[in-house]
Amino acid sequence: MRVAAIRRTVLTASAVSFALLVTACGGGEEGGEDKKATGGGKSEKPAAKALTAAELEKLVVTKGDVKGHEITKPGKDDVFAPDAVSVQKAECKPVAQVLSALPAAKPTASAQRLVVHKGDAAKKDMPSTEELGEMTEEEAKQATIDSLDITKTQTSLWSYDADGAQQTLATLREAGKKCAGGFAMTLDGDKQQVTKVTEEKLSVGDEAVAWTVGTKQDGTSADTKVVVFRKGTTLAGFSSFNIAAVTRGEAYKQPTAVIDAQEAKLG
């Protein structure tokens, strides 16, 4: 999920909502060294190999893997270039990267999908001016926000040779601790402030990091759910954003259905 693009969607939707309301209402570790005694000496386990791009494409979640979710390949407007992220504090860059659905270290291969889940109200069109006109101002406001109950999750697979996945996850974990109080970042030219990096508990894969990352941009505060888990030499990353929750300033949950489906496919 392209975070800045979705934030722009929120701002645009909020502007549209306001215009409609005014009109209607008048107002175990792998990849490391594993030595075993064999006879009179020791032998090393061959270094673990990264999965290829073709292998990752078969393993990343796809249409039909998560009930009630739309899964597509992200378009060019849904993803960032690797150099799109810059940060005030170098040690915080790994957090900024995975927040933006970018790998925290250069993988050997990768695959991505955009996963969209719509709430019941969001499956319908945004209320028309006529429909809003028949509601009270508060009813119209809530109906409009309900129509934005859409969770977008950018799901990524990144593969690494040897212990690269392990080391990258360790770097992420440390960065999350060091940058818990926030930091300034620029994403695709848009300046924003990360206000918090709050750790969450999530048991998935061989090991994992999970956060709620708070940001503020152009006066709009938002929370993004971020998870990265390791399965062997592969990292699975998730950056998830709910438009209605952000508009209301409400908390929302990790996209566990997507995460569980991806873990199952990785085996």
Q: Which whole number is the average pLDDT over 185-206? A: 96
Tokens of 26: 């008048």
Can you tell me the distance from the alpha carbon of 267 to that of 259, in angstroms, rounded to the nearest whole number?
13
CATH fold, domain 47-119+151-266, is Protein Transport Mog1p; Chain A (3.40.1000)
Pair 149, 243: CB distance under 8 Å? yes
Q: What percent of the chain has pLDDT over 70?
A: 82
Tokens of 265: 């496919």
pLDDT in tens, 216-258: 999 889 999 999 999 999 999 999 999 888 888 888 889 999 9
Alpha-carbon separation of residue 209 from 67, 118, 160 (angstroms): 25, 26, 17
Q: Using a CB cutoff of 8 Å and minimum separation of 24, what contacts does 194-197 make?
A: 194/92, 194/95, 194/96, 194/99, 195/221, 197/95
Report if pTM > 0.95: no
